[in-house]
Amino acid sequence: MRSGFISIVGKPNVGKSSLLNALIGKHVSIVSDKTETTRTSIVGVYNDPLHQLIFTDTPGFDKLNYLLNKRSDDIANSSILDADIVLYVVDRKYNSSDIKYIERLNKKIPTILVVNKIDQFLNENNVKDILNSYLEVYEFLEYYLVSTKEGIGISPLLESLKAKVKDTILYYPLDQITNLSFEGVISELVREQIMLNMSEEIPHQVAVLVESLEELDYGVYFSRVNIIIERKAHKGLIIGKNGTMIKKIRHFAERNIKKTLESDVKLELFVKVVEDWRSKKEILDKLGVY
């Protein structure tokens, strides 16, 4: 058995969470087209008879204007230092906004460049331009061209990582796919549906906390979940006319929870207003953003 820790880093919205999900073949890290989706380190575990790869999906924040963002940024920095291998994910040509992210990379830690979303590029020259713009500014160990949406390039990247890990320790049980608790998965997948279905402003002001979880029967659970928002005006938007939006969030969250946890979880969702929660230590502690 060979094992190792691999951190997935990069700017916001380049597809870090999608890459983690594609590499382990499970939906454990939430995905949306909104920036700042990931708030804490989400671990996804890949297991086969000879390898255990522990992937960490790190937050990407442009602005550190809340305690939430500052704590999440610290998590991303420490994740790089703790890794055996780093995957630096990009989806467009290098520019000045990349500098602060490239500067965080540690030359002592092998770093692989991953160009994502290649299915969206017009031609081969576009891909080469993006690739070369990064190879000119940093000495990457190697590079891979992938599309997490289409599954392109995932298998070769996975095989390369298997060949590079050197530890001989089994860090997680073979049936464990994430560091998130049962409640943590519920919370994240409810938040994912809010990210996907609400306008740009609202998702950044939302936290999701599981209040209770009860097993009704073998593999069947009931969970009360609090959706925390900062503004009273947003409460009606999340609930929707005649409850249509919150019903939609619940429906798709329950579906994805079943796929990930292989259990039926019936949700009861509540919307609560907590002003300025992103700067409240007690809320962040409950969210696991330390």
Question: What CATH number is associated with residue 271?
Answer: 3.30.300.20
For range 225-250, the mean pLDDT: 92
Maximum distance among all Cα pairs of the chain, rounded to whole angstroms:
58
Nearest partner of 114 among 4, 239, 240, 15, judged by Cα = 15
pLDDT of residue 203: 59
Residue predicted with more confidence, 283 or 200:
283
**pLDDT per position as a tens digit, 72-105:** 555 555 566 678 999 999 999 999 888 888 888 8
Which of 113, 136, 164 is where one domain is finished? 164
Residue-wise pLDDT for 9-38, tens only, equals 988 889 998 999 999 998 887 665 544 444
Query: Which residue has better confidence, 241 or 72?
Result: 241
Looking at the structure of the chain, the number of domains it has is 2
- Residue 114, pLDDT score: 97
Considering the domain architecture, whether residues 12 and 155 belong to the same structural domain is answered as yes
Residue 64 — very low, low, confident or very high, per pLDDT cuts 50/70/90? very low
Arithmetic mean of pLDDT, 183-204: 82
Owning domain of residue 20 = 2-164
For the ranges 59-63, 205-209, 250-254, the maximum mean pLDDT occurs at: 250-254
| Shared domain check, 157 and 41 | yes
Q: What is the pLDDT of residue 275?
A: 84
Give the containing element (helix H, strand E) for 79: helix 67-82
Pair 116, 18 in one domain: yes
C-alpha distances out from residue 190 to 159, 193, 206, 210, 282, Å? 33, 5, 11, 10, 21
Cα 42 to Cα 190: distance, rounded to the nearest angstrom:
15
Query: 217 is written with which tokens?
Result: 């029967």
Query: What is the rounded average pLDDT of the residues 191-207?
Result: 78
pLDDT above 70 for 267: yes
In the predicted model, is pLDDT for residue 202 greater than 80? no
Residues 78 and 213 occupy one common structural domain: no
Does any domain span residue 223?
yes
Q: 62 or 221, which is more confident? A: 221
Same domain for 130 and 51? yes
The answer to whether position 172 is within a domain reads no
User: How many Cβ atoms sit within 10 Å of the Cβ of residue 154?
Assistant: 17
Q: Look at residue 23 and tell me if it is in a domain.
A: yes
Is 22 inside any structural domain? yes
Range with lowest mean pLDDT among 33-37, 115-119, 214-218, 228-232: 33-37
13 with 154, same domain: the answer is yes
Instruction: Provide the CATH number for the domain around residue 149.
Output: 3.40.50.300
From residue 170, alpha-carbon distances to 28, 164, 173, 176 in Å are 20, 16, 7, 11
Q: What is the pLDDT of residue 61?
A: 46
Is the confidence at residue 277, as pLDDT, over 50?
yes
Q: Both 156 and 189 in a single domain? A: no
Residue 114 · residue 90 · CB < 8 Å: yes
Looking at the structure, do residues 242 and 274 belong to the same domain, yes or no?
A: yes
130 and 26 housed in the same domain: yes
The per-residue pLDDT for range 151-172, each reduced to its tens digit, is 999 999 999 999 999 999 999 9
| DSSP tally for the chain: helices H, then strands E | 10, 9
- Is 28 found in the same domain as 137? yes
Q: Is the pLDDT of residue 290 over 50?
A: no
